[in-house]
Amino acid sequence: MPCEVKMPQLGMNQDSAVIVNWLKAAGEKVAAGEAIFEVETDKATVEVEAAADGFLAGIRAPEGADVPVGDVIAMIVDREAEVGEHESAATAPDGSAEAPPTPPAPVPSPAPEPNEAEVAAPPKTVPPAIAAGRILASPLAKRVASEQGIDLAALRASGVSEPIHARDLARAPAGGHSVLSARVEGGALAALLERSEGASRTALFAAFAASAWRAVVEDAAVSIAIRGLDGSITPYPADAGADAALSLIDLCDTRLGSFAPAGGTPALAAAREGDAFLLTLSFNEGRLPFPTAAALLDAIAARVEDPIRQLL
């Protein structure tokens, strides 16, 4: 009797897992207890074993697919002759029938000649960090990259195909960074914090950074990753996704003066310098060009210096 191969639940809070590698091909003989594929969760890469003897058939999820727990991804059949039956009935990972081949795209009409105004208007410069779009990576790869300061965009640019897995992180290129700093008088912000009971200085820094990014880069969907000294990462806004444009660390309650991570994601550090704030922006010029970085830090400094005007 055919045996279903399902995506197992390997952790308490696991909703899905990424198939890293099929160790057996369709039609190959397998034995109960023999590893047939590898999956990657946000914790580790694990081999999954066959639950029965037979022949692997009807593989429904390719390598790199993120498959929900419990979904049927293949079958184990008793006889080799049955393999072909399941191959013809294979479905997509979501359980639906495979879609028919996509028809050829229609040939586009020639683009109209641009008018004089369009020719005169300079194109808007978008930093590579934004133009690159969302990086497709497994949960484990994202977590390890965040912990080790690895730039997934630079890794993709080096030729690593998506989705990126944890094992690909060893191929991350060594990255340098540039640093800009600004000294900002802190009296106005201190006064605002005194009048606003329960207001968070760190949250204000994040709000100023997000507002400045939107103004300089013209990206409305920006999110900030607030790094804690305990290693925690809190997104701003709270409902933001995992791909942050900028990380922020508040060092004002410490003796520390600045922080420059090894990764390529721009990082803003805020520290105390007497009654003033020292803002340090660390960035990779390959992702965030110097003119954009300079304008960004200047815009953040302006908001810290005059917070009431920026919040109105």
Among the residue ranges 130-144, 215-229, 259-273, 281-295, the one predicted with the least confidence is 130-144
Convert the pLDDT of each residue in 10-21 to its tens digit: 777 777 888 888
Q: Give the CA count within 13 Å in the CB-facing half-sphere of 238.
A: 1
Distance between CA atoms of residues 256 and 287, nearest Å: 27
Hey, is 307 helix, strand or coil? helix
Q: Over pLDDT 70: what percentage of the chain? A: 78
Rounded CA gap, 221 and 242, in Å? 12
Q: What's the mean pLDDT in 132-154?
A: 72
Predicted confidence (pLDDT) per residue in 74-107, tens digit: 999 988 888 888 775 554 444 444 444 444 555 5
Beta bridge partners of 249: 227, 269
Give the model's pLDDT for residue 126. Answer: 41
Would you state the pLDDT for residue 264?
63
- Specify the pLDDT at position 312: 54
Average of per-residue pLDDT across 33-39 = 90
Walk me through the domains of the chain, giving residue ranges and CATH numbers: 3-88 (2.40.50.100), 176-311 (3.30.559.10)
- Tell me what the mean pLDDT of segment 141-163 comes to: 75
pLDDT given for residue 227 in this prediction: 92
Residue range 177-232, pLDDT digits in tens: 789 999 999 999 988 888 887 789 999 999 999 999 999 988 778 899 999 999 89
Are 60 and 72 a contacting pair, CB within 8 Å?
Answer: yes
The DSSP result for 209-267, as a single string, is HHHHHHHHH--TT--EEEEPTTS-EEEESTT--S--SEEEEE-TTSS------SSSS-E
pLDDT of residue 268: 95
- Reading the block at residue 190, the tokens are 């201190």
Structure confidence at residue 273 (pLDDT): 92
Which tokens is 75 given?
């079958």
Mean pLDDT of 133-144: 75
Give the predicted TM-score (pTM) of the model. Answer: 0.48
Q: Residue 63: which of 38, 87, 44, 41 has the closest Cα?
A: 38
| Strand locations in 129-168 (E) | none
